[in-house]
Amino acid sequence: SLGTARIYAGSVVIDGDRLTLSERTVEVVESPPERAASRRSDRFSRGRDPFRDFDRLFDRNRRRQPRERPAPRLFLEAEVEPKRPVVGQQVVYRLYLYFDVNVRNATPSELPSFKGFWTRVIPQPERTTQERTVRDGREIYRAILLERALFPRRAGTLEIEPVEATMTALVSDSSPFGSLMPRMRDIESTSNGVTVDVQPLPDPAPDGFDGLVGQLKVSLDIDRRELEVGEAATLSLELSGRGHLQSVPAPELGDIEGFQVMPPQQQSEENLRGDLVEGRRLWKWVLVPKRPGVHVVPGIDLPFYDPRRREYRVASTESVELTVRGASRVVDGAQDVKLHPVRSTVLPSPSSGSFFSSAWRNGLVALPLLLGLLVVALRGRGGGAGRAEGKRRLKQVLAAAGGEDKPRQAAALVEDAWREYLEERWGVARGTPTPQWAEALAKAGAPDDAAAELVQLADDLHYLRYAPKLSSTDGMRDEMIARSKRLARSL
């Protein structure tokens, strides 16, 4: 019935707990209010889906695009330091690998030729060292893939080619499980090329400067300060410091009054301190006194350019004083030094006593001394016969170099043979730097075109000796030998 309905209070016991319901009243009417009816009509009216809100929810999820992952960054970049060195100053070339993914390996397809530079490999540690950096506002890692110490041989713009490499890396894709199961991919990249603007050494250069660049020092020593006439002493000059010292010629001692000076022996070594090349050159001369007295070996000055201070400096040694005792056994003039045609050693005058017993006791019977005297004798022949002999030896060395399996050694043989021939034929000192050959040959009256071509040949020989990549040098070796034979006919 219409009106007020009453629900009386009651109670119930559940598991020993009594629950009580209080009395309630409700109002019973003929029809529901218009608002409530309208709401029910909207929700359950004909053609209206009551679950449409759920469909819209699911449709929105289906339309949502997967979140895009940033593309992996994996690329090469080359750098040089410093960018504007002077001729002969060390430059460090580095090829960096930048990455923000897990890189398994990186394999360059071809290395730069580094033409125009002397090169020195800087070995990398077995475990690659990586460092964190920021590029374009994003964090990224980098590691050195390749490192070289370079020494520019001439002024001007020198180009270092780009490097192509294939990297294998674990890369995530854009799938829902891409980050959990990355795939191994090969990614190719090419580095930038690098330009080195090599500056000439400043003018004027000091007297005696021979192109030496670095931070250097010299020391002079002699193994004995007192000796008898006819005995020998060994004079040692050591040049050491930062720089490329492998091509430094032996310093000129000149004439030391009262002594016979033998051609020097030389030793060299090179080490790395970090990425800096440190070298050492040692020259040893055998000195044989000809008469008694107190003699002075003058000090030696070696001018060099210090790129750190940007100035020329001179590394100098003190003079060395020697006391020679005994009577004159070797006199100046025709009997100064006699060469036996078979033994090729120094012979004393008939009244000199037992020379060989003294020489043996003092270590004079040594191969360097005998060879040095033999060279002096051969160079003393002079004339056309000497020139013909020099050309014959040059041809013999070229023939031997053609059969040499190692191109570096072949190039060294050819260059040394040319130095010997130029000294005998044209009077060009053996230690003359190759860029100065043309000037020296011009002064001696050699053809200008042949002299210029020989300087270019020497430059190519240096490249063949020090090139870091030796995959195609057999052809280069044969070409150098052919050019040498042609030039030998002109010079």
User: Over the Cα atoms of the chain, what is R_g?
Assistant: 43
CA distance 332 to 396: 37
Mean pLDDT in consecutive groups of 10 residues from the start of the chain, 491 residues: 72 70 73 56 54 56 56 88 95 93 84 90 84 88 93 94 89 59 82 95 91 93 90 92 86 83 86 90 91 90 94 93 79 39 35 38 41 43 60 80 75 84 86 81 86 84 61 67 83 81
Identify how many contiguous H helices and E strands the chain contains and give both numbers. Answer: 9, 24
Choose among 230, 216, 255, 102: nearest CA to 167. 102
145, 98 Cβ separation under 8 angstroms: no
Q: Give SS3 for 271.
A: strand
Nearest 5°: the CA angle 104, 189, 111 is: 90
314/245 Cα distance (integer angstroms)? 16
Where would I find the H helices in 304-432?
355-361, 367-379, 383-402, 407-426
Which spans in 299-382 are helix H? 355-361, 367-379
Looking up tokens 């699911």, which residue turns up? 58
Determine how many CB atoms are found less than 10 A away from the CB of residue 297.
Answer: 22
H/E element, 27 = strand 24-28
Contact partners, residue 242, CB within 8 Å, separation at least 6? 90, 214, 215, 216, 276, 277, 278, 279
H/E stretch holding 18 reads strand 17-21
- pLDDT at residue number 453: 87
445's torsion region: left (phi>0), alpha (psi -120 to 50) or beta?
left
| CA nearest neighbour of 418 among 403, 428, 407 | 428
AA letter at 86: V
Tokens 């050492």 belong to 280
Residue 64: both structure tokens together: 């949502």
CB of 208 closer than 8 Å to CB of 301: yes
226-228 and 320-325 beta bridge pairing: parallel
Please indicate, yes or no, whether the overall pTM of this predicted structure exceeds 0.75.
no
DSSP letter at 435?
G
In contact, 163 and 70? CB cutoff 8 Å: no
Alpha helices in 97-245 (DSSP H): none
Compute φ and ψ for 20, nearest 5 degrees.
-115, 130
Strands 102-110 and 226-228, how do they pair? unpaired
SS3 252: coil
Handedness of CA 480, 483, 488, 491 (dihedral sign): negative
Alpha-carbon gap, residue 198 to 247, rounded angstroms: 19
> Quick check: 69 and 174 in contact, CB under 8 A?
yes
Please give the pLDDT value at position 377: 42
Query: CB-based contacts of 69: which residues, under 8 Å, 6+ apart?
Result: 172, 173, 174, 178, 179
Under 8 Å CB-to-CB from 200, ≥6 apart: which residues? Answer: 86, 87, 155
